[in-house]
Chains A and B, each alone.
Chain A
Amino acid sequence: MESAPILKLEHLGVTFPNHPVFNDLNLTINQGEIWSIIGKNGVGKTTLMRTILHQLRPTHGKISYLPSQGEVTIGYVPQFRNIDADYPLTIKDFVGLNLTGWKLPWLSAKERAKVQKILDQTGLKQLAKRPIGQASGGEKQKAYLAQALVEAPNLLILDESTASLDPVTKTELLDLVTELNQRLKLTVLFVTHDIPMAQKYTQHYLMMTPGKVEQGPIANLTTEKVWEGENV
């Protein structure tokens, strides 16, 4: 399927004080594609995602967002998150936090329906009233995903979001992401160490190694390649 680019990275480089993370990274992501971002711990995957999110300013190069209409809205499920276990914040409220704007403090009926729908889709219906701080690791991951999706973003970035999920839940969530991808042409960047999963659910890969990045269709990502380069 031919598709327009939604995100373009040109000669992108990020350097922390005395520590170059990556350099001259070129990447074009088309709308509706699902990419896996792989590479060893500490190679710079999260750094790259944060750069795409404007949380870090690139030292070199540029990032262009090329929405086919409106603007590129990004949903991001970060790798780490701090939430106080005692907060009186239910999973439902947590998901609704992402509905911001210069609006009344309380959610409108339409917004509440949005939250309800995404809770249903992510299998959180029964847990809607549970405090987020008391949810299990996997339940929290689902809530994070639901929060990122509630605003219907057109680019979804998942940073190792399935690492703590059981196989059944993992499949359910990935099926949901795949469905949104097919139905709404949601573009997905998936940071992961799970090669079989990347092969099953994603179409392209970006493999980061110190000093160089490699990319291609997922079929080219053989297990040998991953192990030979010690890249995962």
Chain B
Amino acid sequence: MFSYEFMRNAFAAGTIIAIICGIMGVFVIARNMSFLTHTLSEIGFSGAAFGVFAGWAPLNGMLLFTVVSSVIVGQLSARSERREAATSAISALFIGLGILFLSLANKNASYATSILFGSVIGISAGDVQQMLWLSLLVLVVVFVIYRFLKFDSFDHTGARVKGLWTNALSITFLVLLALSVSVAAQIVGSLLIFILLTLPAATAKYFAHTVGGMMVLAITLALVGVWSGLVLSYVTNFPVSFFIAAIEAVFYFIALGWQRLQTAE
């Protein structure tokens, strides 16, 4: 299996993605941003389509669209009651645009499928390198602002009271999320990114006792899903996203069941 270069690239990319998603996922869950993450991935689709239309690498189109829109959403989120509705409207607009760009670009349907659902074969060594740099950037920023981000994510009231610059933190986090979404989309596809960005962390929430523990567990669950997904996909020729989605969902339901048992006792 590893004698194929594309499989080595896919494993390298998958590992990077799992680590980023595990860490960012913890904050996505704590900040209640699952819905927004889903929207960002749709915006990512649109960006990738635009990239194709403009003759860029899809990842660059994605980066442009997700980063710009995350800053816009960050401004909107000051009034959080309106955020859900506004977010839905934005996502509808972007899916529409994505479809338009794809049809303008005159690419065949399989191209759209690979943007939406991801693909293993398409990842080159150059892609892996770009993903690595982007991921390192995300990790370094998270490392530097960790204490502020943790305070604000897990105790927003306390962070505001302390006078932390919560709005700037929120926008910074959204930009990091946009970068993570764009990176993760390379393998699981834009339709399913939020699976890796939300499910492992949501599962870990039920088992872990500390934030650090939640992170380690979320990374582990994401890694297990991505690695087994790649192997199973290689063996069966079924899409990798299917396996990753199925595995992460199973973990999540096990966690829910376990939580039920705990509270029933």
Task: Verify A105–B210 contact, CB threshold 8 A.
Answer: no
Chain B positions 154-170 with a Cβ under 8 Å from a chain A Cβ: 154-164
Within the assembled complex, what's the spacing in Å between the Cα atoms of A104 and B214? Answer: 18
What is the total of A-B residue contacts with beta carbons within 8 Å? 70
Most buried by A among B150, B154, B208, B213: B154
Whether A112 sits at the interface, judged by CB under 8 Å, is no
**Minimum C-beta distance from B125 to chain A (A):** 32
Closest CB of chain A to B157's CB: distance in Å? Answer: 5
A-side contacts of B148, CB under 8 Å: 100
- Count contacts on A: residues with CB < 8 A to the other chain: 31
B59 within 8 A of A: no
Q: Tell me which residues from 60 to 114 in chain A have a Cβ below 8 Å from any Cβ of chain B.
A: 76, 78, 80-84, 86-90, 93-94, 97-106
Stretch at the interface among B82-90, B112-120, B139-147, B190-198: B139-147
Which A residues are in CB contact (< 8 Å) with B251? none
Is A129 at the interface (CB under 8 A from chain B)? Answer: yes
- Cβ of A97 and Cβ of B150 under 8 Å apart? yes
Q: B residues within 8 A CB of A98?
A: 151, 158, 162
B205 close to A88 (CB less than 8 A): yes
Task: Check if B211 sits within 8 Å of A78, measured CB to CB.
Answer: no
Chain B residues touching A, majority SS: helix
A64 smallest CB distance to B (angstroms): 17
Q: Which residues of A are found within 8 Å of B234, using beta-carbon distances?
A: none
How many whole Å from A153's CB to the nearest CB in chain B? Answer: 10
Asked if B147 contacts A101 (CB within 8 A), the reply is yes
CB atoms of B147 and A103 under 8 A apart: yes
Contact (Cβ within 8 A) B30 A87: yes
Q: B206 within 8 Å of A by Cβ?
A: yes
Q: A-side binding surface: helix, strand, loop or mixed?
A: loop
B155 with A83: CB separation less than 8 A = yes
CA distance A57 to B211 in the complex (A): 34
Q: Which chain A residues lie closer than 8 Å to B214 at the CB level? A: 88
B209 at the interface (CB under 8 A from A): yes
CA distance A91 to B159 in the complex (A): 16
A78 contacts which of B144, B147, B161, B205 (Cβ < 8 Å)?
A: B161
The verdict on A53 contacting chain B, using a C-beta distance below 8 Å, is yes
CA distance A84 to B34 in the complex (A): 15
Q: Is the CB of A97 within 8 A of B161?
A: no
Contacts of A129 in B (CB 8 A): 209
| B144 CB contacts on chain A under 8 angstroms | 102
A97 near B213 with CB under 8 A, answer: no
A-B complex: 5 closest residue pairs judged by Cβ atoms: A105-B146, A88-B208, A97-B151, A81-B157, A76-B161
Contact surface of B with A, Cβ cutoff 8 Å? 30, 143-144, 146-148, 150-151, 154-164, 204-206, 208-214
Sample of 26 A–B contacts (CB below 8 Å): A53-B163, A76-B161, A76-B162, A80-B157, A81-B157, A81-B158, A82-B156, A86-B205, A87-B30, A87-B154, A87-B205, A88-B205, A88-B211, A88-B213, A89-B210, A97-B151, A97-B154, A97-B155, A97-B158, A97-B159, A98-B158, A98-B162, A100-B148, A104-B146, A105-B150, A129-B209
